[in-house]
């Protein structure tokens, strides 16, 4: 019995073929890297935009003075100070507006100083309650219970031509520094 000689497969690699394969591998890696950088630009912009961007406070009307009875606390909405052109409805902000006297108003941010959840005003107990982690503020926005580390921020308010105006500006949220 004679054995057939096995076919020799040790063909030396074609240097041109290897270099073409390497070229395409490198091209694909380069395209992936460029794509990754392009996709990362909006994210990087989102992260660092608040550090770079200058916010100019703006007075926003929230309603006629007569609309707010003395002693009442009402939720009002207004457009952020410097909304981005693509913000849409997220450019809207809100505040709790209390009328203290004929001419005096106090405006509290609706955002809890813990993690930013919107607080609601409970007139019966004269408290602002945060639904997220049980934060409680008294009628002056001071913390009386729960994890919020700071009182509710206040907006400057003025009366101008019969309109109540709130000076819109970015609201500071303490998280993540307040996290355990």
Of residues 129 and 159, the one with the C-beta less far from ligand FES: 129
Q: How far apart (Å, rounded) are the C-alpha atoms in residues 164 and 64?
A: 6
Rounded to whole angstroms, how far apart are CA atoms 159 and 40?
45
On whether the CB atoms of residues 141 and 151 are closer than 8 A, the answer is: yes
C-alpha–C-alpha distance, residues 52 and 26, integer Å: 36
Minimum separation from the CB atom of position 175 to ligand FES (A): 8
Judged by CB, which is closer to ligand FES: 63, or 146? 146
Residues 99-158 within binding reach of ligand FES (CB under 6 A): 112, 114-115, 117, 130, 132-133, 135, 146-148
Give the integer Cα–Cα distance in Å for 53 and 69: 38
Closer of 60 and 114 to ligand FES (Cβ): 114
Q: Minimum Å distance from CB 88 to ligand FES?
A: 24
Contact between 97 and ligand FES by CB under 6 A: the answer reads no
Q: Whole-number minimum distance, CB 147 to ligand FES, in Å?
A: 5
The 3-state DSSP class for residue 16 equals: helix
Binding letters toward ligand FES, positions 41-60, x by CB under 6 A: --------------------
Provide the Cα torsion 136, 121, 179, 78; round to 10°: -160
Chain residues binding ligand FES by CB under 6 A are 112, 114-115, 117, 130, 132-133, 135, 146-148
């Amino acid at each position: 019995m004679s054995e057939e000689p096995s076919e020799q497969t040790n063909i030396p690699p074609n240097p041109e073929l290897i270099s073409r394969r390497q070229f395409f591998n490198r091209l694909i890696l380069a395209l992936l890297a460029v794509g990754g950088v392009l996709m990362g630009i909006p994210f990087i912009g989102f992260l660092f935009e608040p550090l770079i961007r200058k916010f100019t406070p703006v007075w926003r009307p929230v309603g006629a003075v007569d609309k707010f009875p003395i002693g009442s606390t009402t939720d009002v909405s207004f457009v952020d100070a410097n909304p981005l052109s693509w913000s849409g409805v997220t450019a809207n902000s809100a505040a709790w507006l209390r009328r203290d006297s004929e001419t005096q108003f106090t405006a509290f941010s609706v955002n809890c100083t813990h993690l930013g959840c919107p607080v609601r005003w409970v007139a019966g107990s004269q408290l602002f309650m945060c639904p997220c982690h049980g934060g409680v503020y008294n009628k002056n926005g001071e913390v009386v219970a729960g994890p919020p580390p700071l009182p509710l921020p206040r907006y400057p308010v003025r009366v101008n031509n019969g309109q109540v105006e709130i000076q819109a500006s970015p609201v500071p949220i303490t998280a993540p520094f307040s996290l355990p």
